[in-house]
Structure formats: structure tokens, C-alpha cells
Amino acid sequence: MANITIHIDGMSCMHCVTRVKKAIEKLNGIRGLTVEVGVASIDFDESVVTQDDIKETITLLGYKINEGSHPKG
């Protein structure tokens, strides 16, 4: 089991949250998911789905992955 926190640019409302959450939930291997405006925390089985698969799913919705550094905590 792995976990990734992805910072997402372009999300502005609960509709965005719902779109991202539903798209990620459709991927095989997702074990847990929390989505808020601008960020998603995902538990996943990396033998089934990769970080790149998850990021691609988000970008295909029209959002941008923010790869910059973020404070932890």
C-alpha cells in the first residue's frame, strides 16, 4: 500500500472536488481517498495502479498537477 498527496491547480469548488474524486475512484487499486479543493490524498495498491496513472486521470479532467514544494503537515 502506498500513499500520495497531490496538489492540484484549477480546482475552485465542490463540483471540482466531486469530479476529481469520482474519476480517481474508478481506477482499480484505489484503497482510500480524500479530496479537497486543491489537494487529494490517495491510498493505493502500487502493484495495480501507479502515481502516474492517478496524475494522468486528474490532468485529463483539465486540472494541473502542482509539482512544486509544499510544507509538510
pLDDT digits (tens, 9 = 90+) for 9-64: 999 999 999 999 999 999 999 999 999 999 999 999 999 999 999 999 999 999 99
Domain containing 35 — which CATH number?
3.30.70.100
β pairing state of 39-44 and 30-36: antiparallel
Q: Is the pLDDT of residue 67 over 90?
A: no
- pTM for the model stands at 0.88
Residue 21 lies inside a defined structural domain of this protein: yes
Q: Name the amino acid, one letter, at 22.
A: K
3 state DSSP class of 59: helix
Looking at the domain assignment, is residue 18 inside a domain?
A: yes
For residue 49, the enclosing domain spans 2-66
| Contact residues for 17 (Cβ-Cβ < 8 A; gap 6+) | 11, 35, 36, 37
Q: Is residue 73 part of a domain?
A: no
> What pLDDT was estimated at residue 71?
46
Q: Grid coordinates standing for 37?
A: 479543493
